[in-house]
Structure formats: C-alpha cells, structure tokens
Structure 1
Amino acid sequence: MSVSLSTDQVRALRLIAQLLAPSSALTRTDVMDTAVGAAKHMLASQAQQRDSALIALDIRSHHPGTAATALENSLLIRSWTQRGTHQILAAEDVRWMTLLCSPRILAASAKRRSQLGLDDAAVHRAREVLTEHAAGAPVPRSRAYELFRSVDIDPGEYRGQHLLRHFGGEGEIVQGPPVDGEDTFVLLDSICTLSLGLRGEEALIEMVRRYFYSRGAATLKDLQWWSGLNLSELKPGISFLADGGEILQVTGPNDEDMWIPAWADSVTDAEVKAALEPELTLPAFDEYLLSYTDRSHLMDSEHLFSIGPGKNGVFKPFKVVQGEALPV
C-alpha cells in the first residue's frame, strides 16, 4: 500500500475493515461470522434505529437474523455509549466504553436539568426507584415512567426520556431486550456476567486501536467525531499505537493526514479492485457512513438529503457502487 491513498483505496480499505469486503490482509476468524463477533470487531455501531443496526451486523457476519437473537439473549446490548446516541455493542464492551466516552455528555445533560424542572434530588429519586426495579427484570419504558411518577416526578415534556438517557450514560443501566416492540431498561450487571475491566489510558488505547482496525483509513477528526472525545484526549492513544507500529500514517486523497491499521499495508491492488466490484445495499445509519465526520470520500454532497443527514439528522438506507454511497 502506498503512503498516499487514492479515493478508490480509501473506499476499499473501509469496506474491508468494516467486514463488507474480503482481503487476506485482514484474517476473518470464525468469531467474526457471528453477530456478536461482528459487533466486537466494530466495537460500537450506530443503533438509532434498532432494526437497521441489527441488519448491519447480520450483513457483516453473513448470518441474517442472528443479531436479533443475540440482542434478545443480551449478548448484544443497545445503550448510549458515545455521542449521547444509541449504539449496539457486544455486552462485554458496554461498561468501559460508556465510562470512557460519556462524561462530557453527562455534564451537558446535567446543565439541561433546570430547563426541565429537575433538580439533583429528583434525579436521585428516579435513579433509586428505577435501579430497584431494574435489578430483577427489564423494565419497559412505560413502566419506568410510572415508577418516576411514584416518586413525584412527571415524565412528561421529555423529562422521562432525559432521565433514562442520563442513567444510560452512567454505565449501570442499559437497554434490555425489547418487549412487544417497547424499549426496556435493566441493570447491566443483571444481564452481563462479564464486562472487560478497562479503565483510563488502557481503555482509550483499546478504543483507538479497535476504531482504526475496523474503520481505517480514517483521520483523527473522524475518530473525534465517532468517539465524542476531544483531540487532546485522543492523541496519547494515537501516539502509543503509532509508536508500536499498530497504526500507520498515510496521506489521504485531499492531502489530509490519515491513519490505517498495520494490516492494511498488505492489501493488494487486486484486492482493492475486488472490494469495489460488488454492489451493496446497506441500512439506515450504517457505519460505512456514520463512522466518519468527513464523508466526502464516500458520498457526493448532492446526496445529503436523499441519504442523510437530512434536516432532522436522519440517515436513510443506501446502496454502495464502486465504494460510493448512492440513493437506493
């Protein structure tokens, strides 16, 4: 792989990294051929639309329908690990990713409480009553709102929604398996017997490693957008992995600094060509677009409103032709 990437090379590397195209450079293990394995590889996948996120994992694992079963069995968990938006992760990755990426979101959430008529005492009561009931079995959203009312908190005017999202960002409460299509909330410890004990710098390095391993070629700003952390927080992780040869710096099509995982240096020109040949159809909010803040290498700006993000921030399903995202 040359140190200066063409647009085709960027597209092909991303398709390969995201398990959407094969390459001998990225060894595909048996684990990756499961929804949970694909989720571990991707680390966190946008799940604003639950069904779309499950389809995205099924596509990457080549086993349609298995992601829904993994979610039902709590092997996959939908929560708010970064950017204050829904993500799907392997259960073992939820807590450390939440604790690493959510502090800034939690601080912003706390500042909004006065506008919602919530004080610290109300938040404490809501947390206690939800925690008590979510320890035994998943609590449907409607029931959670009843519990808030039982401690004199009106869940209307977005207060209930705000509280559930805030608690999700604390790392103890996550979404459980849906019941009759309704979101549920449950203590992570009650459905996940093993969480990776990553903290601090160790967690940061693991996140940066897995981001570039599953999404490179990408820029530091892409990682900043995806993680929600600031540049100064991310740079130590970049330096550690670069010094160890796990990621390599290259030049992008617009002369920007990009990073690729070490395995990408072995992708051949033939594999680049082969990765771009199949036409794909990907679901709404797919990580092929959502992983990067600069999507110009993947999608023409004329498609912003036909694919996304539209004025309401929604992404629609799209097809991929020669690595380019196009309207379905």
Structure 2
Amino acid sequence: MPAEEALERLVGLQAQAPVPPYFGLWTRLAGFRPAELAGLLTERRAVRIALMRGTVHLVTAADCRRLRPCLQPFMERSLATTFGKELDGLDPAEVAAAGRALLERSPLTVGDLSAALRETWPDRSAAALGNVVRNLLPVVQTPPRGVWGRSGRTTYATAEDWLGAPLDAEPDLDSLVLRYLAAFGPATVRDVQAWSGLTRLRAVIERLRPRLVSFRDEEGRELWDLPGAPRPDAGTPAPVRYLAPYDNAILSHADRTRIIGDQHRRAIATRNGLIPGTILVDGFVAGMWRIDGAGGATTLDVQLFHPVSGHRRVELEEEGERLLLFAADGVAGCELRIADA
C-alpha cells in the first residue's frame, strides 16, 4: 500500500527521531523508498506532532486534525505533572496565547520561541515556557526536520496554519479506540490506555462492545478486537523483521511480553528513554541493531540475545543486507556485522 495509507493504518509512526519512521515503513511495505515519505512531509500531507503519550508521531494531515483533540487531555495533564512547580502562579493559557501569536507571524525554532516568551516572563525557564506551547497548542515540526537526507532544528508552526484547516471540533474517542484495535488488537483496556496515555477508556470499550469480539488470555484478562481483523493461526510462520528504533510494535501495549521478554526489555532500556532498532525472529525480539554511517561507509551492527541458526540465520543475514542497501541508498562499501549471544 502507499506510505500515506500505511501511516493511517498504524495510526501514525513513532517519530522521536527523524529517521526511524523511514525504517518503520521500509520493514512493512514492499518497494518503499524514502522519497515517498519525504514528499508527504514537504507537501504537508503528513506532519510530525506530539500525540500519543505526548511523544512525537508522524501522521497524515487528516489524522493530525482528528487525533490531537482526542489526546489533548493527556497533553494538559502531562504539562501539569512535569512542569507544575515551574508554572506555579503562571496562567498557561496566557502563555499559549502569546505563543500562538508569535507562531502566526512565522514558524519559529524551539529556542527562538522560548526566548521570545521569556521577554514577557523572564523569571520562568525556557523549557517550561516552550512546553506550555507544545502541550497546549497543536504545533507541528516543519521540514526540513524529518526529511530523509536533510537536517534541521526543531521548528514549530501551528497545525492550523501549516495545514490550512482547523482541527476537528470534537474528539472522537470511539473512532480512536476502533482504529487502535484495527492496528494492534487483540488488546486489553490497559493496552489502549498505555498506547494513548488516556485514562478511563473502559467506558468507551463498553459502549463499543456490540461492535467488538472478545477473548481471554492465559491470565484471564479480556482482550478486544474487531470482528473482521486478521488473527493468524498460532502455527503461521513469522518472517525475520528488522523493526525501527521506537517502533510502534514494541511500544503499543501495556503487556509487551507478547513481543519482547522482560529480560530483553531490560536489555534495550536506556536511562534517557532511547529505544534501539530491534529484530524479530519467530515474532519475538531476538536482538538489537544499529547503523553507523561514519567514515563514508555504512555498517549494520547486530547484537543477538540468543543464537539464531538454520534458515532463520539465512533470513537474518538476507534481511540485514536489504536494510543496508536501503540505509545507504545503494552506495557500495556496506558491512553487516552480527554478534552472537
């Protein structure tokens, strides 16, 4: 399918860093090329914006308008939790209004926006003022940031100005939950809440019950799914896949043991919240990968958590070579290095 359709099928892609969404689509779509996603960004058909759990996602323009109103309660709660002390005695709505006025004149880098706000509130930290705007206003990160092969500082514009259209007037939580299940079901209520950052979604699930099917997992928890969603037989072969850093498949459930064991989850955890690229073997995380383009040569380093042999080893190597060709845009001088457990 086209990249734009895939973005909507997945309800966006995690995009804390500029490049991972390209790998996320490469591993899912046949024949995907970076120019397709880059074009969506430069043509304003896709944007980077803080959404689920307050993290930056790359979504279509239509989803930006649909999703941000649904996630606004989390954005406001997150602001109060993280910067409550620094904002004590300050009216966040007033800061947001000032930020909107500044951004309506022209897009601004985070630093320039914060500096301009500090002219009015010099006793407040730049980080706190900048995050008021990020959390209370639907601000998108404008290109060239996020465009393959280019770089740029994080620069904000309001979604309404950048897209030339208003956000949806009312949040549609029913649609949000249904789309989550279409992408990630079967799932529990806790899974939906962990993915979105929202709370009290059980009432939404109960309202949707007539439109859903339910199951029980090994622990007796109720899982929900769409009636026509694909649920392959347990014996269906799962091919080797290289998942992107921050990939949705790793981060979209409260119970992540469906795809990564607790010991391996600890292995990929970092203090600053970075999630490396991971490798799926038989549908479960079996290692990590990292690409280094220093010195004019592209190197793919794979660290396995357990031995992989036989035809799975062949798949691992062949898929790694494909990833190298994609990452290096076909340039010669690539090297695949696999470190066994």
Distance 2:26 2:131 in 1: 26
Cα deviation, 1:241-276, whole Å, max 9, x if unaligned, reads: 3213xx210122443221122123x64539x614x1
Alignment of 1:49 with 2:49, yes or no, is no
* Bigger RCO of structures 1 and 2 (CA < 8 A, at least 6 apart): 1
SS of match in other structure, 1:74:
coil
- What residue is the counterpart of 2:73 in the other structure? 103
Relative to structure 1, the CA distance from residue 55 to residue 37 in structure 2 (aligned partners, 3 Å threshold; closer, same or farther) is same
Amino acid at match of 1:60: R
SS of match in other structure, 2:58:
strand
Alignment of 1:240 with 2:231, yes or no, is no
Cα deviation, 1:44-103, whole Å, max 9, x if unaligned, reads: 332222311332134334413122332233222222223222222212222442222232
For 1:1-328, list aligned pairs within 5 A. Answer: 33-62=1-30, 63-65=32-34, 66-110=36-80, 113=83, 115-116=85-86, 119-121=89-91, 123=92, 126-153=95-122, 159-178=125-144, 180-194=151-165, 197=168, 199-200=170-171, 203-230=172-199, 233-244=200-211, 247-264=212-229, 267=231, 269=233, 273-274=236-237, 276=238, 278-307=239-268, 309-328=269-288
| 1:84–1:102 contact (8 Å) kept in structure 2 | no
Cα deviation, 1:274-317, whole Å, max 9, x if unaligned, reads: 4x1x211011110111111111121122212332x334332111
| 2:54–2:78 contact (8 Å) kept in structure 1 | no
Bigger radius of gyration, 1 or 2? Answer: 2
Distance 1:182 1:284 in 2: 20
| 1:95–1:171 contact (8 Å) kept in structure 2 | no
| 1:93–1:196 contact (8 Å) kept in structure 2 | no
| 1:91–1:195 contact (8 Å) kept in structure 2 | no
Distance 1:160 1:210 in 2: 36
Distance 2:184 2:23 in 1: 18
Alignment TM-score, normalising by the size of structure 2 = 0.73
Relative to structure 1, the CA distance from residue 194 to residue 36 in structure 2 (aligned partners, 3 Å threshold; closer, same or farther) is farther
SS of match in other structure, 1:320:
strand
Alignment TM-score, normalising by the size of structure 1 = 0.75
The aligned length equals 281
Amino acid at match of 1:170: L
SS of match in other structure, 2:266:
coil
% identical aligned pairs: 22
Distance 1:229 1:267 in 2: 26
| 2:139–2:156 contact (8 Å) kept in structure 1 | yes
Gaps of 5+ in 1: 1-32
Give 1 or 2: higher helix fraction. 1
Cα deviation, 1:113-155, whole Å, max 9, x if unaligned, reads: 463266425x456434432332244212232133223334367
